[in-house]
Amino acid sequence: MRILVTGAAGFVGVAVCKALSESGHRVTAVTRSPTATPLAAERIEVLGDLTGATDWSGVLAGIDAVVHLAGRAHVLNDDAHAAERLYRQANVEVLEGLARGAVGSGVKRLVFASSIKVNGEETFGAPFSAEAPPAPEDAYGKSKLEAEQRLREIAGNAMAPQTLEWVILRPPLMYGPGVRGNMARLFAIADRGWPVPFRSIRNARDLLYVGSFADLIVRAVSAPAAANRVFLARDGEPLSTPDLFRRIAGALDKRPILLPCPVSVLELIGGLTGRSAEVRRLTGNLEIDDDATRSLLAWEPRMSASAAMKLTAEGYRSRR
């Protein structure tokens, strides 16, 4: 298939282009600017900053499927007044323009990388499933949900002729070589041997190795069972925050230093410092039910979480 990938030079995009190319697909990589990052692509298109007005007609000609990864990711310390507008511009308006362009160019399928944040921030007893009612809480999650809704509307539905199949994937926090953000910060803390107040945390959070997500996209672009469905995915080993930090330290051949601290104290400190959301992600549960993904798409994670963490550590060391 001829597949166009947006956000191709990003952390996830590099892995996705590689997996698609290795599966025999012809990849057109869309990037914001010329990149020194090697991309497994037949063609690279530099389109600058994507907007709702981006002209997709030229790059979509002859394309069979689109994998849309580009967007504004969750940004810490966002200006609350600007966040909603910025997320909507990057995550909703760009998707609207791309979906309309795909319909006009005769693209068969659009795979959209959404986020588990569409389901919510935390689970209480039951894991998140694709069928559960969406309950996003922040501007990022809400923009992803609106983008999902607009994609379905533009593609068509049971009451109107459908010209474009859609597939929505909602991954949790991903990791792998080149990871950034909170996961990269945990690697840096473990590598420096700094103590962390995680020992008293008793939670369970699902993660996903980026290579496994790339494998899922390979299936999503062509599997008949994927058409017009939402899929969740996870490694399969929910980890507590202290266990995650131990695995990170172990992958770096470091000794983890975990100090006890009541969760209530961590929450109080988070409230006083304006970091309640960050503390919640460290202490809360986020579990995922991906049984339907595994059965319908015959998908399994590429490797164990421990082996994937080792590869992530190697990638971290190579960038130091």
Q: Specify which residues 111 forms β-bridges with.
A: 67, 167
Of residues 256, 235, 203, the one with CA closest to residue 302:
235
In sequence order, the 6+-apart residues with CB closer than 8 A to the CB of 243 are none
Phi then psi dihedrals of residue 276, to 5 deg: -60, -40
Longest dimension (CA), the chain: 59
Burial 145-163 (b: 16+ CB within 10 A, else e): bbbbebbbebbbeeeeeee
| Residue-wise DSSP of 56-121 | -HHHHTT-SEEEE--SPPP-TT--HHHHHHHHIIIIIIHHHHHHHHHHHHT--EEEEE--GGGT-S
Of residues 60, 17, 62, 64, the one with CA closest to residue 37:
17
Write down the catalytic residue from 140, 175, 209, 316: 140
Question: How many residues are present in the chain?
Answer: 320
In the residue annotation, 316 being an active-site residue is answered as no
Q: Specify which residues 29 forms β-bridges with.
A: 5, 44
State the virtual CA torsion across 214, 216, 218, 220 in degrees, nearest 10: -140
Active site residues: 140
